[in-house]
Structure 1
């Protein structure tokens, strides 16, 4: 006979009769160790009558687990970052060729510049853990080089590029003891601009800033256009590098271009050709609704300065006026100051052929320039970042639709769909046009030409012709007292600018996409060079009158 198997009661339980703490089971009935029957327990098998009597079972739905991409680190992360920059650059180049009519070989030029830019970076060979030595070039299947290297994790919006003020070459040149750093997002626009220099295309940095601000070229929202799988695997520091502000600070692209020009010279002894400046000057003059005589004065001043409109690549000092685009717009404002008085002091012409015979009504000029913006009803493209919360409260429906369309295009990506839905929800009942009705971006060439024509018609009706006043000054009398009209005012700061001059300087600085202080400094340097030239010319004439040998600086017979 098998021994009886005893079980222990659960904690706190015992037999009610004898207090035993053990029990055994017999014929489906439970007894304590001393044989007392325990009530309330009977073993049995469940039959079919008990089927379905347990009630409804509810189970908590499990939330689908999101697959978290593994963040790349080290060399892999840097390699992915450069591949993303390469993708952005490729999109920019193809947009320029397709939409702006750039020549077909423009892509080949930018591709070569990109290959040089990443040439000195430590590159990884495909499918192997070895790294290329510095100086070995390598290109992917699309012709662009793959790359990886050192990089400053400071975001594009936080970067404080050097102003176009006086600086030494050493501050621009890369540190000789370190490798050339990884390019930043703004360098993609700078490379496209350098391609324009090589191809002699009359595009300016202001053009690229305008295309980027209006969202036409891939830049501000470049991070949202990157494939999701690549963006999820990108390290955080490179995410910050691809995030930009809502606009490009004035002078930021100019500084990036200048840095690349000097770096190409130092690293590869590459020199870029000068600007194709004639169309650019003509565009500056027409956009500011200035007389065409301004161009002739600019040509004379440029000959005095012996300007070649190329980017500086050496020397101990880089002045503000050494930047060719800053020099161009500085020449425009200086020529206007010399021809048409901005301070109210009339400079009478000496003959009917004198370009100063025309007098500009600067009050009327300010009205004509500002009427283009005052008559618009929509929001001007490229200026959405200037909108403040106070402006939003005062906006009409059309401008608010434009602003929300720009905000959705630029800043709502596919990274967090739930957040995007919550932002869109209050506006789902409203129908907005698919093509945003922006004012300036949709102007075609004919409308733009008509706008400039209307400006000149309005200015021509307000211009006056001055009678010439012959110069009665005795050239042999050096002590002749100078009159106020013989001097040109020199303005060193914004506070010094009178009303019309401040409007002209501000519009010119916006046209060139540079800070106002940079333009004031560049114009002052140009004026100083003209002053030095005048002093030297007067000295040569005095020496020539005294019979001294004078070196004219050329081999002419004069």
Structure 2
């Protein structure tokens, strides 16, 4: 039996013993308490059969306070202490948890739209129906993936055996992908609003996510902590949000989602052009009569398919003019050009020049204008920040303070911080106090939507009355105005200028063909 050796205090149940010996390979104090984490292999010195055999032992040394420590490195020790609850999950379990997390975020977005944007209560029910169709399509894909074609079902030749098998595996692998990310959430929300006939469009959802009014960026932070711990990193990245959609990614995702669930055959898929054209009029500050010009021209040309959402699952879909919103947008730009060409007496060169050189909107801001100002930071030239006046700068800083600097005394995120981090955070906030009497801010006047709209039109009228057309010809002015409309609408609807120009060109050819046929 091993003799006692002196070591650290046992401490188990306040045991004062410092004497230890090894019993059956386990280090035990004189009162029978076993030391945790202590292991010894092949400690039987009397076993003669082990002569000449290299034995392995877990070397124990003492740390700075005199306690025993093993030769395991820190990472190995930490991994050995992890429980099953703290480990990442993979495979089907991870896929199920990801779908559950995606549904959790989608529900939060629905509640935000209903509570903050005054969407009808039935909106959540429609979103649930669309999401159930998505889950059903995933289940059908899994069934196809789990029922592969066997060798007896297909007669492979010697030459194409490998090629056919590789092709089959590639198809199965593509079926198993969910294709979900944060753009999928706002696509489902948009499709639900189309089904209900709500006057909400893609530009509204883009503005809401950029202005942080709709949960989108860092959405994985809102998940329960136990879910975040278990989800693999590649699933967490899908729920990160990243950058807002651009270059018609939003439209292509809507088309892919419609194709995934056969949306057009199960839900209402037609877009009402009237509120959309009105939306374009308000975005461009054009005269209200252009609404009637556009609607009359569209009715003259013909509705075609009544502006239904398209369903297309191709990853490289470039027929952007087939998307109903982009078609209506192209119609609007074309009609504005045609009206200005035909009605020279009604719309003077000075009036067109005023639209081109229109100054910044009225300094008194509304909530909508501040959100548009923030949205422009994602899509517009970043150097435009240096041209902001004092009002725009203060509006932006006020928005940042409300969105990203909440009351830190009641911040729920502080519950997960250690004491040291809480102290560091409190000291950081003292460096830049939010409430300071040394720098009084001028009162900001926030107008309502109606008042803000009236101010914009009055400002434009005053500017157009005192404007001079310059040395440009009328055709040059019309082309410049068209370029400005394309640039403004492309930024609002997250599509590139070149893509929108292609849409306008293709729709103009379509209009000319239809008019010749009449």
Greater percentage in helix: 2
Q: Cα deviation per residue 1:429-452 (whole Å; 9 max; x = unaligned)?
A: 222269xxxxxxx997x6221121
Partner of 1:310: 308
- Work out whether residues 248 and 494 of structure 2, in 8 Å CA contact, stay in contact via their aligned partners in 1: yes
Q: Cα deviation per residue 1:244-282 (whole Å; 9 max; x = unaligned)?
A: 22433252222111111122228x943542112211211
- Work out whether residues 260 and 313 of structure 2, in 8 Å CA contact, stay in contact via their aligned partners in 1: no
Q: Give the superposition deviation at 1:314.
A: 7.2
In structure 2, C-alpha distance between the alignment counterparts of 1:430 and 1:378, rounded to whole Å: 24
Residue 291 (structure 1) aligned with residue 287 (structure 2): yes
Q: Cα deviation per residue 1:400-438 (whole Å; 9 max; x = unaligned)?
A: 6755776668xx97888788986885443222269xxxx
Alignment of 1:343-422 (within 5 A): 348=344, 356=346, 361-368=351-358, 370-372=360-362, 380-385=373-378, 398=394
- Work out whether residues 486 and 497 of structure 2, in 8 Å CA contact, stay in contact via their aligned partners in 1: yes
| Candidates 503, 507, 515, aligned match of 1:526 | 507
In structure 2, C-alpha distance between the alignment counterparts of 1:280 and 1:509, rounded to whole Å: 15
- Work out whether residues 218 and 239 of structure 2, in 8 Å CA contact, stay in contact via their aligned partners in 1: no
Partner of 1:113: 130
Q: Cα deviation per residue 1:117-168 (whole Å; 9 max; x = unaligned)?
A: 0113249xxxxxxx99579xxxxxxxxxxxx9xxxxxxxxxxxxxxxxxxxx
Q: Give the superposition deviation at 1:370.
A: 2.4
Q: Give the superposition deviation at 1:514.
A: 2.2
Q: Is the alpha carbon distance of 1:389 and 1:59 closer, same or farther for their aligned partners in structure 2, counting shifts above 3 Å?
A: farther
- Work out whether residues 194 and 270 of structure 2, in 8 Å CA contact, stay in contact via their aligned partners in 1: yes
Q: Give the superposition deviation at 1:325.
A: 0.8
Q: Give the superposition deviation at 1:181.
A: 2.5
Q: Cα deviation per residue 1:443-480 (whole Å; 9 max; x = unaligned)?
A: 97x6221121122223344668xxxxxxxxxxxxxxxx
Q: Is the alpha carbon distance of 1:426 and 1:132 closer, same or farther for their aligned partners in structure 2, counting shifts above 3 Å?
A: closer
Q: Is the alpha carbon distance of 1:99 and 1:250 closer, same or farther for their aligned partners in structure 2, counting shifts above 3 Å?
A: farther
Q: Is the alpha carbon distance of 1:249 and 1:182 closer, same or farther for their aligned partners in structure 2, counting shifts above 3 Å?
A: closer
Which consecutive unaligned segments of at least 5 residues does structure 1 have?
1-56, 124-130, 136-147, 149-173, 350-355, 435-441, 465-483, 490-495, 538-558
Partner of 2:45: none
Q: Report which of the two structures shows the higher radius of gyration computed on alpha carbons.
A: 1
Q: Is the alpha carbon distance of 1:498 and 1:229 closer, same or farther for their aligned partners in structure 2, counting shifts above 3 Å?
A: same
Alignment of 1:492-507 (within 5 A): 499-507=480-488
Partner of 1:322: 322
Residue 374 of structure 2 aligns to a residue in which SS?
coil
Q: Give the superposition deviation at 1:306.
A: 2.4
- Work out whether residues 369 and 455 of structure 1, in 8 Å CA contact, stay in contact via their aligned partners in 2: no
Q: Is the alpha carbon distance of 1:248 and 1:92 closer, same or farther for their aligned partners in structure 2, counting shifts above 3 Å?
A: same
Partner of 1:208: 205
Alignment of 1:53-452 (within 5 A): 69-122=86-139, 178-179=175-176, 181-265=178-262, 269-270=265-266, 272-303=268-299, 304-307=301-304, 308-313=306-311, 319-341=319-341, 348=344, 356=346, 361-368=351-358, 370-372=360-362, 380-385=373-378, 398=394, 426-432=428-434, 447-452=448-453
In structure 1, C-alpha distance between the alignment counterparts of 2:292 and 2:325, rounded to whole Å: 18
Partner of 2:52: none
Q: Give the superposition deviation at 1:320.
A: 2.3
Q: Is the alpha carbon distance of 1:132 and 1:518 closer, same or farther for their aligned partners in structure 2, counting shifts above 3 Å?
A: closer
Partner of 1:453: 454
